[in-house]
Structure 1
Amino acid sequence: MTQQPTTHSARAADGHGQAADGNEFTFWREHTQITLSPVAAPSILGLYGLAAATFIVAANLAGWYGNEATPVVLAPFVFTFGGIAQFLAGMWAYRARDALATGVHGAWGSFWIAYGLYYFFVAFGVLPGFTESPIAAGGFGFWFIALAAITWVGSVAAAVENLAVSAVLLTLAAGATLLAIGLLGEFSGLQTAAGWVLVASAVLAWYTASAMVLEATFKRVVLPMGKRAAEPNKPGEEPKRTIQYQVGEPGVKAGQ
C-alpha cells in the first residue's frame, strides 16, 4: 500500500485551532480563506436619516414653525427617510456586525416608521393627534420611555468607541426622556425643551455622518469624532487597517 503524503494543513492543525509550532496566527494564515463582500458604513445613512427626521420634528416641537396640522405634512418624509432608510441602515449594520448601530438604527428607524403610519391615520381622521388628545399624548409618552431606555444604553456603549456618536445618543436620549415626561405629565414647557435638545442631537448626528463621509472619500480624518483606542482621530491621519486574528478573521474588521 502506498502511503499518501501528509499535507501541510494536516501537519499544522492540532484540532484546537493551533499550528504545529503553537502559533495561533500561523494557523489562521495557513488555513483561512476569505471572501469579502464590503459595504459602506451603514451609519452614514442611518445618522443622516436620524438627523433629518429628528430636526424637522424637533423644530416643530420647539415652536420654530408650523401648527397642529404640520406633523401630518411631515409624516411622509419621516416615514421614508427617518424610518425606512434608517431601519435599512440598521439591517446593513447587522451585516457589518456593529451591535450598537444595529440596535440604535433599528429602534429609531422602527419608531419613525410607526410615527409616519400614526400620522397617516391622523390625516384620515382614524386617530387623534397627540396635541388633541391626552390619551394619545400618554401613549406617545410611553413610546419615548422605551426609546429613551434603549438610547441611554447606546450612549454609554458608544463612549467606548466614538465620542461623537456618544454625544448624538446622549442628547437623543435626554430629549426622548424630557419628551416622555412632558407628554405623560402634560407639561408643554418640557415638550418645548425636549424639542431644543433633540435639535441639538440632530445637528450632532449631521456632523458625525458628515465626518464619516469625508473620511471615506478623502481617505483620512477631516473632522474629528473623538475615536477611542488606536483609531485615528486628528485631521490628516489615515484610518488603520486592523487585522483581526483574535476572532479568527484575519483581514476582516468588524463594525464600521
Structure 2
Amino acid sequence: MSTTNNSNDVEKGRVQNISNNAGNGAGADVEPFGPNSGDPVSYQRYPSHIANPGPTGVFAFAMTTFLLSMFNVGTRGVSHPNVVVGMAIFAGGLTQFIAGMWEFPRGNVFGATAFSTYGSFWMSYATIFIPGSGILATFSNPQELNNAIGLFLITWFIVTFIFLLAVIRRNIAFSILLALLDIAFALLSAAEFTGSAAVQKAGGAFGIMTGLVAFYIGASELLHAEPQAIARLPQGLLHT
C-alpha cells in the first residue's frame, strides 16, 4: 500500500498542476492549503533530482518514538529514558530535521514542516536530559519539573493536533499516525502533572503503536520508491 499517491510526482520529472479540492479523498496530496477556506487551489510541482527523503524522516521518527515508548512502559525494568538521548539527537532530531530541509526543494510543504518540526522536538527533548545542559539542575522541586515537562508535552500535543487537521480525510495512514501520537502526548503530559505511573504506561503504549505505524509508513514509501529508482538507473548498470 502506498501512503501517498503523489509523493513521487517530482521524481517523474514532470511539471504538474494539482487541484486541492475536498473531493480528492484520502489519496490526495496533503499540501498546500489556500488562503480562502474551501476554495480550490492550483499549484505546480517542478522537476527535481532530489530523492524522496520521506522514508528517511519517517524511519528516524519511528525508531526514536518506539524506543522511548518502550522505556515509558518499563520494558525489561528500564525506568530512566536517558539512553534515548543519543538517538533523539542524531536520529529523531538531526536526521529528521535534514529530511525536512530536503522536502522544501521538492515542494512538499507538509513533509518539510512536519519533519523539521518533529526533528526540533527530539533535539529539544534530548537537551533536557543532558546533564551538561543544566536544565534538570535548575529545578529543586520535583513537581515543578514534572509540571514544566507536562507543559512542554502539551505544546507538542497542540502542534500534532494541527498537523492531524491537515491530513485527516486526505491520507489514512498519516491520520492514524498523528491521532495515536496526539493521544500519547496527552497521556504523557497528564502523567507528568499527576505522577501516575499507570497513565505514563498508557502513554507509552500509544507511543509504541505510533512507532509501529510509522515503521509501516516508512517501509511502504521505501518499497514504493525503489522500483522507480531502479527504472531511472542507466541500463548498463542493470546488467553488471
- Return the TM-score normalized by structure 1: 0.65
Task: Name the residue aligned to 2:98.
Answer: 88
User: Once the 2 structures are TM-superposed, how far is the Cα of residue 176 of structure 1 from its aligned partner?
Assistant: 0.6
RCO comparison, higher one (Cα < 8 Å, 6+): 2
Read off the aligned partner of 1:57 and give its amino acid letter.
Answer: L
Unaligned runs of 5+ residues in structure 2 are 1-44, 230-240
Task: Measure, in 2, the Cα distance between the counterparts of 1:115 and 1:178.
Answer: 17
Larger helix percent: 2
* Residue 201 (str. 1) matches residue 224 (str. 2): no
> Identical aligned pairs, as a percentage?
24
Which of the numbers 62, 67, 71 marks the counterpart of 1:60? 71
C-alpha distance after superposition, 1:75-134 (max 9, x if no partner) = 111110011111111222222222222222222111111122222127x8762599x922
Task: Name the residue aligned to 1:39.
Answer: 50
Task: Measure, in 2, the Cα distance between the counterparts of 1:80 and 1:183.
Answer: 25
Task: Measure, in 1, the Cα distance between the counterparts of 2:137 and 2:209.
Answer: 29
Read off the aligned partner of 2:165 and give its amino acid letter.
Answer: V
Task: Name the residue aligned to 2:232.
Answer: none
User: Once the 2 structures are TM-superposed, how far is the Cα of residue 190 of structure 1 from its aligned partner?
Assistant: 1.1
Cα pair 1:119 1:129 within 8 Å, conserved: no
User: Once the 2 structures are TM-superposed, how far is the Cα of residue 65 of structure 1 from its aligned partner?
Assistant: 3.0
User: Once the 2 structures are TM-superposed, how far is the Cα of residue 44 of structure 1 from its aligned partner?
Assistant: 1.1
Q: How does 1:1-256 map to 2 (within 5 A)?
A: 36-68=47-79, 70-121=80-131, 127-128=136-137, 133-219=142-228
Unaligned runs of 5+ residues in structure 1 are 1-33, 221-256
Which structure is larger by alpha-carbon Rg, 1 or 2?
1
Q: Secondary structure at the match of 1:95?
A: coil
Task: Measure, in 1, the Cα distance between the counterparts of 2:149 and 2:85.
Answer: 15
Cα pair 2:72 2:81 within 8 Å, conserved: no
Task: Measure, in 1, the Cα distance between the counterparts of 2:72 and 2:87.
Answer: 16
Task: Measure, in 2, the Cα distance between the counterparts of 1:203 and 1:162.
Answer: 17
Q: 1:36 to 1:97 in 2, by over 3 A?
A: closer
Task: Measure, in 1, the Cα distance between the counterparts of 2:138 and 2:73.
Answer: 17
Task: Measure, in 1, the Cα distance between the counterparts of 2:61 and 2:46.
Answer: 32
Task: Measure, in 1, the Cα distance between the counterparts of 2:201 and 2:168.
Answer: 28
Task: Measure, in 2, the Cα distance between the counterparts of 1:35 and 1:173.
Answer: 33
Task: Measure, in 2, the Cα distance between the counterparts of 1:137 and 1:50.
Answer: 24
Cα pair 1:107 1:147 within 8 Å, conserved: no
- 4+ residue runs over 6 A deviation: none
Cα pair 2:153 2:188 within 8 Å, conserved: yes
Aligned length: 184
Cα pair 2:128 2:135 within 8 Å, conserved: no
